[in-house]
Homo-oligomer: A and B are copies of this chain.
Amino acid sequence: MFTFRRPKVRLEVPRLKPRGEALQLPRVNLAELTPALLPYLGQAAYIQLSLFESLSRIVTQAPTVAHKESLGPAAGQALDKHERLVAEIRRHVSDPAVIMQPFAAAIDDYREVVAGANWYEALTSLYVSAGILDDFFIHLAAGLENGSGPRMVQILDAESGRQAIATIVAEGIANDPKLGSHLAMWGRRVVGDTLLVARSAIHHTDNRNSDEQRIEPVFTEVIAAHTRRMDGLGLTA
């Protein structure tokens, strides 16, 4: 199979001292694993569309009008990210659907797997997957060609809807402590499936073992951020 290969440019800056406990992102190595711009945009845009679909289902099934009301903006936020990413695709091709299509089946399957058996599970899934996937695509953006990375970060880093979800889940847990341990368990399962989606975004070189070693620190960082978000809900990640 013919695959496009990105030029391997190494721009490593020697570090004299480790920066304390802070994780050092392997920016240059990650750049080699960053997909070309259009596949990156296609997958990121379809993921946001899928998050929007999950969120709008959550809005529809919300138990009260107040819940609908407070979650509406989160759905709008995902849709807005989707549309801004589609606008980026249109800078290069006229039919964005063609660029998103290759990712549709896998993301649709993922959405079904993490849909959850009830409303709180669905909400927790959304919180976990939006957090991890936005984060991961922000990391990948550092390696994008033509300096388009910062624009992608600006699009994906907006998260005005997340706090509403956190508040609602935290309220649910406060009212029912057993819900907390259940959702913590459910969240761990969602993390596994979500990391598979993240992994599918990587452009692989000829040396898969080395790819895995390079991506591992990024996953460690992404999961650390996920753990902090779960702490915010009072849940153990």
Contact = CB atoms under 8 A, between A and B. Distances in A.
Question: Which of A49, A69, A75, A96 is most buried by chain B, counting CB atoms within 10 A of its CB?
Answer: A69
Interface in A58-97: 59-60, 64-66, 68-69, 72-73, 75-76, 79-80, 82-83, 86, 95-97
A43 interface: no
A52 B74 CA distance: 13
A104 interface: yes
Nearest to A54: B60
How many monomers of this chain does the complex have? 2
A211 interface: no
Interface string A83-119: 1001000000001110011001000000000000000
Contacts of A73: 83
A57 interface: yes
Given A75-B79, A76-B79, A79-B79, A69 B52 contact: no
A125 interface: no
Given A53-B56, A53-B59, A64-B97, A80 B69 contact: no
B53 A100 contact: no
A79 B72 contact: yes
Given A79-B75, A79-B76, A79-B79, A60 B65 contact: no
A52 B46 contact: no
Nearest to A89: B69
Contacts of A53: 56, 59-60
Contacts of A69: 49, 86, 96-97, 100
A66 B101 CA distance: 8
A90 to B, nearest CB: 10
Interface string A190-204: 000000000000000
Contacts of A76: 76, 79-80, 83
Given A56-B60, A60-B56, A49 B66 contact: no
9 contacts: A49-B59, A49-B68, A49-B69, A52-B56, A56-B57, A64-B97, A65-B104, A73-B83, A76-B79
Q: Which 10 A-B pairs have the closest CB atoms?
A: A56-B56, A66-B97, A65-B97, A53-B60, A76-B79, A65-B101, A69-B97, A65-B100, A65-B104, A69-B96
